[in-house]
């Protein structure tokens, strides 16, 4: 009985210490330093092709962070393309971490669109990416700049891919659905013009013919100039 009481007392002290450490970390969370560090690492990984600014960052749950009002300036053909994210949440799974696996899940909201994603290690150095996209407005300025012409409508989709360092080694499945697709306004189109209904149906990108096609993968890597 005494041994049991002693062990319970020790476990209680340990729990109190852990709780105090976690509480202190929450209270003194270095939000500014973490935001600057994350921005620096993203810019470094993109090799100067983008500038990142995080207005606010805080802890989310026991193993996650939440960033709000993230602004990214992506350089495309020497011109900045603005990308704004209202809310970004990233969480590290604790149970897989105990087994030596790093699994990350998260979500983001931007201009009414929502994305839920998960990343986990895969065989041969690849990373599995699973994502669900909802209500992405195609008339967003960033997408219009990327497309090169005005477009309208919404995009929904699901992605299940195995990414590798070299694009030609990736494979996976992508399912996209276009809603109320339209083009314009631009010369000679003064207004948006809806496309035929059959172009607004679900688009399936086959696994074998797309993601395992070396010519397709190589074309993605080439510069448009």
Domain assignment of residue 195, yes or no: yes
Contact indicator for 92, 63 with CB cutoff of 8 Å: yes
DSSP for 138-196 reads TT-HHHHHHHSS-EEEEEEEEEEEEE-SSGGG-EEEEEEEEEEEEE-SBTTBSS-EEPP
Percent of the chain past pLDDT 70, that is, above it, reads 59
Prediction pTM value: 0.59
Domain assignment of residue 127, yes or no: yes
Of the CA atoms within 13 Å of residue 219, those in its CB half-sphere come to 7
Strands 202-205 and 193-194 turn out to be unpaired
Nearest residue to 58 (alpha-carbon basis) of 50, 71, 69, 45: 69
Contact indicator for 154, 133 with CB cutoff of 8 Å: no
Domain assignment of residue 11, yes or no: no
- Can you tell me the mean pLDDT for 165-189? 70
Q: Domain total for the chain?
A: 1
Residue 114 pLDDT level (bands cut at 50, 70, 90)? very high
Q: Is the pLDDT of residue 148 over 60?
A: yes
Domain assignment of residue 38, yes or no: no
Q: What is the tens place of the pLDDT at every residue in 25-45?
A: 555 556 677 777 777 777 776
Domain assignment of residue 104, yes or no: no
Q: Please, which residues have CB within 8 angstroms of residue 27's CB and are 6 or more apart in sequence?
A: none
Domain assignment of residue 217, yes or no: yes
Domain assignment of residue 18, yes or no: no
Domain housing 190 = 111-225
pLDDT of residue 222: 42
Domain assignment of residue 7, yes or no: no
């Amino acid at each position: 009985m005494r041994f049991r009481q002693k062990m319970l007392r020790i476990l209680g002290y340990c729990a109190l210490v852990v709780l105090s450490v976690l509480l202190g970390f929450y209270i003194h969370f270095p939000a500014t330093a973490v935001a600057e560090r994350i921005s620096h690492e993203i810019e470094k990984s993109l090799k100067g092709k983008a500038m990142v600014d995080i207005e606010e960052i805080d802890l989310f749950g026991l193993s996650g962070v939440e960033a709000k009002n993230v602004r990214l300036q992506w350089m495309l053909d020497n011109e900045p393309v603005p990308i704004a994210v209202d809310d970004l949440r990233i969480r590290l799974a604790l149970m897989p971490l105990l087994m030596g696996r790093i699994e990350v899940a998260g979500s983001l909201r931007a201009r009414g669109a929502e994305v839920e994603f998960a990343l986990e290690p895969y065989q041969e150095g690849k990373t599995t990416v699973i994502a669900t996209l909802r209500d992405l407005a195609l008339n967003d300025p960033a997408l219009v700049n990327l497309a090169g012409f005005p477009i309208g409508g919404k995009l929904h989709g699901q992605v299940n891919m195995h990414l590798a360092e070299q694009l030609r080694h990736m494979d996976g499945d992508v399912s996209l659905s276009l809603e109320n697709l339209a083009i314009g306004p631009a010369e000679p189109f003064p207004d948006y013009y809806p496309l035929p209904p059959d172009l607004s149906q679900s688009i399936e990108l086959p696994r074998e013919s797309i993601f395992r096609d070396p010519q397709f993968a190589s074309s993605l890597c080439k510069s448009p100039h």
